[in-house]
Structure 1
Amino acid sequence: MRLLLILCMLIYGLAMLFILLYSVAQAHLLYRFRLSQKQSTRPAPPAPEVWPTVTVQLPVYNEKYVVERLIDSVAALDYPADKLEIQLLDDSDDETTEIIKKTLLQYPYLKFQHIRRANRSGYKAGALKYGLELAQGEYIAIFDADFTPQPDFLKNTIPYFANPNLGMVQTRWTHLNKDYSLLTRLQALALDAHFFIEQVGRNNQHAFINFNGTGGVWRKTTILDAGNWHDDTLTEDLDLSYRAQLKGWQFLYLPEVESPAELPPVMSALKSQQFRWTKGGAEVAVKHLGKVLRSGKSLQTKYHALAHLLNSSVFVAVLLASLASIPLLWAKVNNQLPPAAFEVAEVMLLSFVVISLVYFQANFLGKSTGINRVAGFVLYYPLFLSVSMGMALHNAVAVWEGWTGRKSAFIRTPKFNLEGRKHTWQQNFYLSLKMPFTTYLEGLLGLLFLGVATWSGAQGEYVLLVFHSMLAVGYLLVFYQSVLSYRRS
């Protein structure tokens, strides 16, 4: 029994140490972000005398709800028509293809190319690579189907490529349907922290940043020099980003340029997206961590790359720490382990305070008033943290598959076009009807931690009471929302 408790203490300690080290990186990113705010505003470069040719790539697969909106938005780009080439990289096998054909008839004056492949080999990466072989543009802008780029997007990004060493420009995602539901508000909170704090903090110190898969522009020669698009991970964007930066190309992040997009409004769609992101991140970590650590980059840059590539592994740490905390709680109540061990563990909980500061700062960068921001943060952040914990099992499975090299198909995230209220999410044809087995486990974990939280309170263990209560709320919310989203009327 004692050996088992020591093993649980070791697992708990290592998991919390990993979270603490990750939070140190987050704290430094917050510091660099704050430093960037005190620096003089970056002047926009002058427009080129002659605008270069740009190819806009729109990878599409079964997007009947949003593809017309996408085409209309791209057609409205304020850029010389003779310098603009737009590729519809259409791998669809449903009515999306006919919608594209009909919509393109409205824009005979633009260079739209409706490109169909013989098969869907390589998924999104394969489509982008196929289109790149046909692209005439010196620069490649990429938008996913749920994005609606602003008319001045290209004129706000292309001038920066006057720097011959610049390989990619990424812009900040904003949210078309942030206020649609509690779930979309929580997602916006998470993404804003990434796009306000993390991307700015990394770029400010010339650390590795990532192309976010959409809402960015590449120099075509950068893509080719880095080895073109690869389809051996589920996050081809992160993979190419690291390959290009390891080759010496510079990246630029422009938080002032907005790229509006739709957030998944239901749990099953969010889980599909999260699984792809977390598993793909783990795959890229396996692929590139060794190269990064052996590179000539500074120790600080390597540390941030380590935290960047392993950020999805935080879910594994949360899952292990939460499960190990149950026997440790029993041991503490029954005096089976020295109190000092728990005091050290409680100090490590400070990492959650640091991470909370990152989200608090991001929350204050929105457009609402100060009072509304504080009220919104107090209301939504505890729920966000709980739901993030409740996603630990689902995302930990994805990370484990990425670490162990288990391959899976590129599962697209269903799009809805709810911003226009043209459809309800229940009518979405692309929603899955099959609920995965892990959803039932999430419900059981919710009940387990509910019982443990009740026991924690009864024993006067109030720190663990908060921890276990948040786990219970998170798992039960994720389970409930999952059950609802897999049931279609």
Structure 2
Amino acid sequence: MTILALLLVLVYGLCLAFIFCYSLVQVHLVYLYLRCQPAQNTDSTSLLISVEELPLVTVQLPVYNERYVVERLIDAVAAFNYPPNKLQIQVLDDSEDETGMLIAAKVAYYREKGLAITHVQRPTRSGFKAGALQHGLATATGDFIAIFDADFLPEPDFLRQTLSPFSNPRVGVVQTRWGHLNSNYSLLTKLQAFGLNAHFTIEQTGRSCGHFFINFNGTGGIWRKSCILDAGGWQADTLTEDLDLSYRAQLRNWEFRYLEQIIAPAELPATMPAVKSQQFRWTKGAAETARKNLGQVFQSDKSWLTKVHALFHLGNSSIFVCIFLSAFLSLPALLIWERWPQFQFFFNVGSLFFVSLAGLILFYWTAFRRTNEKGITSFFKFLPRFFWFLTFSLGLSLHNALAVLEGYLGIKTPFIRTPKFNLQKPTDSWQNNAYRTGSINLLTLLEGLFAFYFLGGFLLAFHLRNYGLLPYHLMLTLGFSGVFILTLKHSR
């Protein structure tokens, strides 16, 4: 029994140690972000000198069953302030519903106005989004390929603002920051915006300024066509084809540019099943990409610091495995602490949790200040937002941990799209929507059971008079119960 207790404590400590290392990497990105911010603010995205110098651009719009948003997307791209004779628009349509008819009507309308716009339909949806992009690449006439998912609404001057960095022939990708059309729709969308803003400020800028591996985010950016081809093209063996191609391109020594000051607005998922679908694809895809590319990263001639950041970049979804394991083992840890005082030394590792928490507070606070008003009042707005973001992240840890394990084990699953509902105002409704997703499955029931499990840990603290993990178990209880309840509510 003592050996089992020791094993549990060791696993618990290793999970906390990984979380601690992850937080150190995030703090380093904060340092890089703050160091590079003045240069970012003065960095020019000036227009190219003349219309004659503008390159040929193909805009690819990968679409699958997007009846609520596809028309506004095509309208936005058709309104680009770019010479029509240098612009090609490909609507890569894999739809199986009436979306195709809406696209056909829009394409016909803009073709009559002189735009070079085509409606590309494949016989099968093989390869999902990666397959559609690769299929469209064969007939793309542009030297540069801009990509927008169906829920994006790029500004008319997007292309003119983002092409300048390509004057460097080694630049293969320019990525912009995502904006959020419906960030104030609900608490769920506010928390997603909170997390994504941190990625699109601190992480992307920090990695770019540190000359580490960064990633194209699947949309809201531009590729040099020759870069895609040189890196091996779009491949469908991971759920994050964007991250995969990004690493393969940078291993071929292509450079990426991130433009934080340019915003591409998009819609956030508004239901818990939609959030879970997106999180599953991102976390599992990151694990698949790590499995595929991390070995080549370590064999490359990149610096050791670049390799460390790549490890935590590609392996960042593994944080959910450590979060869930450490949470699950925290209850036995309380009992072991009470029963075997000789393990006190190992429990001192638990202090790493508070150091990690401080690092994450710094990380998200820096991002929050960048995207919100400054001053002391901003901090009081930040604290509850950070609390609920962390709470719901804990609640999603089981769901995301299982996705990560599937990725590392090589278990293949289809690409599940995130439904878009064209929600911009709080009064807009996703109910009675044709693309509602969600069902009550075993995982949902487990999330409900774990809410009671962590409630038991909360009550156990009072019984043992050991209150160190009391706030943690409270957050776990709220997180798992919140995810469980919203899954039930949004699946009806």
TM range (shorter): over 0.9
TM-score (normalised: structure 1):
0.97
AA aligned to 2:335 is W
Question: Who is 1:230 aligned against?
Answer: 235
Question: Who is 2:19 aligned against?
Answer: 19
SS of the residue 1:427 aligns to? coil
SS of the residue 2:163 aligns to? helix
Point out 4+ residue stretches in structure 1 off by more than 4 angstroms: 420-423
- Which of 167, 175, 180 is residue 180 of structure 2 equivalent to? 175
Is the 2:184–2:426 Cα contact (8 Å) retained in structure 1?
Answer: no
Is the 1:66–1:145 Cα contact (8 Å) retained in structure 2?
Answer: yes
Question: Who is 1:9 aligned against?
Answer: 9
Q: Which moved more, 1:277-286 or 1:69-78?
A: 69-78
Cα distance in structure 2, aligned partners of 1:401 and 1:99: 37
SS of the residue 1:174 aligns to? strand
- Ranges in structure 1 where 5+ consecutive residues have no aligned partner: none
Question: Who is 1:51 aligned against?
Answer: 54
Cα distance in structure 1, aligned partners of 2:438 and 2:334: 39
AA aligned to 2:43 is R
Is the 2:215–2:246 Cα contact (8 Å) retained in structure 1?
Answer: yes
Question: Who is 1:41 aligned against?
Answer: 42
Question: Who is 2:216 aligned against?
Answer: 211
Does residue 129 of the first structure (1) align with residue 130 of the second (2)?
Answer: no
Cα distance in structure 2, aligned partners of 1:424 and 1:466: 35
- Ranges in structure 2 where 5+ consecutive residues have no aligned partner: none
Question: Who is 1:402 aligned against?
Answer: 407
AA aligned to 1:289 is L
Q: What does residue range 448-463 of structure 1 map to in structure 2 within 5 Å?
A: 448-463=453-468
Question: Who is 1:466 aligned against?
Answer: 471
Deviation string, structure 1 residues 69-94 (Cα, Å, up to 9, x no partner): 11111111111111110000000010
Deviation string, structure 1 residues 343-380 (Cα, Å, up to 9, x no partner): 22223431121012100111111243535532321121
Is the 2:13–2:346 Cα contact (8 Å) retained in structure 1?
Answer: no
In the superposition, relative to structure 1, how do residues 249 and 179 fare at CA in structure 2: closer, same or farther (>3 Å)? same
Deviation string, structure 1 residues 18-73 (Cα, Å, up to 9, x no partner): 11111111110000001012447223355143211100000000000110111111
Does residue 239 of the first structure (1) align with residue 244 of the second (2)?
Answer: yes
In the superposition, relative to structure 1, how do residues 106 and 369 fare at CA in structure 2: closer, same or farther (>3 Å)? farther
Q: Which moved more, 1:90-99 or 1:371-380?
A: 371-380
Q: What does residue range 76-115 of structure 1 map to in structure 2 within 5 Å?
A: 76-107=79-110, 108-109=112-113, 110-115=115-120
Question: Who is 1:160 aligned against?
Answer: 165
TM-score (normalised: structure 2):
0.97
Cα distance in structure 2, aligned partners of 1:322 and 1:42: 43
Cα distance in structure 1, aligned partners of 2:342 and 2:392: 31
Q: Which moved more, 1:455-464 or 1:259-268?
A: 455-464
Cα distance in structure 1, aligned partners of 2:376 and 2:351: 32
Question: Who is 1:250 aligned against?
Answer: 255
In the superposition, relative to structure 1, how do residues 161 and 38 fare at CA in structure 2: closer, same or farther (>3 Å)? closer
Does residue 340 of the first structure (1) align with residue 341 of the second (2)?
Answer: no
Cα distance in structure 1, aligned partners of 2:139 and 2:211: 33
Is the 1:393–1:442 Cα contact (8 Å) retained in structure 2?
Answer: yes
In the superposition, relative to structure 1, how do residues 369 and 336 fare at CA in structure 2: closer, same or farther (>3 Å)? closer
Q: What does residue range 69-468 of structure 1 map to in structure 2 within 5 Å?
A: 69-107=72-110, 108-109=112-113, 110-368=115-373, 370-419=375-424, 424-468=429-473
Cα distance in structure 1, aligned partners of 2:161 and 2:143: 16
